[in-house]
Amino acid sequence: MSIAIMTSGGDCAGMNPAIKQFVDYCFTKDVQPYLIYDGLEGLIDGDIKAATYEDVAGIMHEGGTKIRSSRSKRFFEYEYRKQAFENLQKYGIDKIVILGGDGSFRALNQFHKDFGVNFIGVPATIDNDIFGTEYCLGVDTALNIIRQATDAVRDTSSSFKRACVIETMGRDCGYLALVSAITCGAEVCIIPELDYDLESIGNRLKDELEKGRKYIVCIVAEGCNHDKCTSTNQLVQWLETDIGIETRATILGHVQRGGNPTVFDRLMASEFVTYSIDKLLSDHIGGSVIVYNRSEFQFVTIEHVNSQKYKIRDDLLELAKRLVN
Ligand code: F6P
């Protein structure tokens, strides 16, 4: 019996611990593990290798993904999916663990419909934007990178009586910005999911500055860089002109995707992968996604994951309400 693992879409910390656990656990189950390199592109091009212990030795603490990733347009075409299937057949692989986001799961679901390859999707994206799961691999590490950066920017902002606007990633989802604002002690949090009132925020900030506030930390989600929201640049302008405080912007960018995986992400990687392998070995499951809710793991269908847009928990949004008024 042969199972393969691949990483697809945006990489994140926690993928390497997942790959290591995949290989080590398969060996304990007398199953030959395979590594598919370069995501769906590598699957099409036959970049597949039988894994050895050596391939995964010493990768537990490393960010990114040793087997690399890609975003594939070719996989939308049947002809390339067929080529990918023929590659798997050469190695007798009929089961795949794929780490990625919902786009990658949809791609493999189509692959399953075409050729019957069983797979389990492990939610892995710093955006934490997959419906049906409270947690996606990599989020804790990304949050800790943001926390470290925000703490550092606060040091210099407070030394200069400045405001800082820190932009986080997350695509359309404000989760990273929201949790960072709550846990880093920000004064302002602008995310697509929360209505905000700039006038009222402005009055509050002016009042606090008059009472002795020395600096201001604002956290903005990259999803706000569109017409209906206040972008990072607009916020900087507003702080300088309307509030009258010198302001600097820090766009954190891809630094949020790297770094050593935290203990939590290493543990989550281990659990996500172990339960996925157990499931693949015990059932003919078709296509399924492993999700994590209220401290429990469960398997759900791709249709379920795709049925709605991810929504941030109301109680978390509630915690940040004082930062939007
Ligand atoms: O989905 C992960 C993510 O890092 C998003 O937060 C961001 O919008 C996007 O990927 C960036 O993509 P790329 O690495 O292709 O620039």
DSSP state of 137: B
Contact between residue 163 and residue 239 where contact means Cβ atoms under 8 Å apart: yes
For residue 44, what pLDDT is reported? 98
Residue 323: which pLDDT band, with cuts at 50, 70 and 90?
very high
| Nearest-5° Cα angle at 283, 83 to 51 | 50
Residue 64: which pLDDT band, with cuts at 50, 70 and 90?
very high
DSSP SS3 for 207:
helix
Q: Please state, in angstroms and rounded to a whole number, the distance separating the CA atoms of residues 290 and 99.
A: 10
Kindly state if the Cβ of 167 falls inside 6 Å of ligand 1. no
The CA 172 to ligand 1 mean position distance, Å, reads 10
pLDDT > 90? residue 80: yes
**Residue 127 annotated in active site:** yes
Q: Bridge-partner residues for 248, per DSSP?
A: 164
Cβ-based neighbour number of residue 226 at 10 Å: 10
Kindly state if the Cβ of 248 falls inside 6 Å of ligand 1. no
- Please give the model's pTM, rounded to 2 decimal places: 0.98
Residue 172: which pLDDT band, with cuts at 50, 70 and 90?
very high
Q: Kindly name the residue from 11, 94, 127, 140 that is annotated as catalytic.
A: 127
The CA 86 to ligand 1 mean position distance, Å, reads 31
DSSP SS3 for 67:
coil
> How many C-alpha atoms does 53 have within 13 Å on its Cβ side?
3
pLDDT > 90? residue 107: yes
Nearest ligand 1 atom to the CA of 9 is 1
Cβ-based neighbour number of residue 91 at 10 Å: 16
DSSP state of 322: G
**Mean pLDDT of the 139-159 span:** 98
Residue with tokens 């900030």: 205
Nearest ligand 1 atom to the CA of 256 is 4
